[in-house]
Amino acid sequence: MNEGERAVAVPVDEVVGTGNRVAPGDFVDVFFTLKQSQDVNKTQARLLLSRLRVLTYGAASAAGDAPADDGATVVRSNNPPPAARTAVLAVPTADVNRLLLATQNGKLQLVLRNPTDATAPDVSLFPEPPPVLASKGGLTKEQREALEQADNQAYAGLELTGLSGGAAPRPAPAVRPRPRQPAAAPREQANTVEVVRGTKREVVGF
C-alpha cells in the first residue's frame, strides 16, 4: 500500500466481484447505485472511485501466502476455497468517506480495468460537495491551505446528500442595502440682500 492510502474492506459477492474474476493486485473502478429515498432525490448510478488497487479478495492476498515454518507439515485441501465475502481496497485517505457512505447506503460494483490504463476522471470539473464540519473563521493563509490536506478533508466529513449530488448550493451572503442618507437641507443665509444690476438679479448674503 502506498503512502496516503488506507486499506478499506467492502462486501462483495459473485456479481459485485465481476463473476469472482477480481484478484489481488488487480485495479478496479468502483461504481455505485443509490435508490431514491428521503436523502436521495433520484435513483442514480455513478463512478465513485477510479483505479483502486485490490489488496485482498476473499482469502487471497496480494502479498501471497505466508511461507510455512521449516519442518512444519503443510496440509492442503482439495475443497474449493469459500466464496469471497469481502475485498480490501487501497483507498486514498480523502476518499474513504465516499466509499463508506456508498457502502452503507447504496450498492457497489467493482469493474475490472486494464492495469496499464491510467485514465481517471477530472474531478476539478465538478463542484465539490460541502463538508460536514465547516472550517473556523479567521484562519491564516497557511491554515487555509492545510484544509486541502487529505487527512483534514477526511476529518471534515461528507454528507449523503453531498455524495448523491443533492446538496443545496451554499447561499451567497446576504447584502443589506445601505440606507439612503437624507439630502442635506440648503443652508439658509441669516442676512441677505437682493442686488439688481439692470435685468440681472441676485441674492447676496452679508
In the chain, the percentage of residues whose pLDDT exceeds 70 is 75
Task: Output phi, psi for 67, to 5 deg.
Answer: -70, 150
For 133-190, the pLDDT digits (tens) are 999 999 999 999 999 999 999 999 999 988 888 765 444 445 556 666 666 655 555 5
Instruction: Give the pLDDT confidence score for residue 180 in this predicted structure.
Output: 66
The pLDDT assigned to 74 comes to 41
With a CB cutoff of 8 Å and minimum separation 6, the contacts of 119 are 50
The number of CA neighbours under 13 Å toward the Cβ of 193 is 4
Q: From its phi and psi, is residue 7 left (phi > 0), alpha (psi between -120 and 50) or beta?
A: beta
pLDDT at 69 over 50: no
**Whether residue 64 has pLDDT greater than 60:** no
In 3D space, the residue among 18, 27, 12, 25 whose CA is nearest the CA of residue 84 turns out to be 12
| Separation of alpha carbons 155 and 93, rounded Å | 10
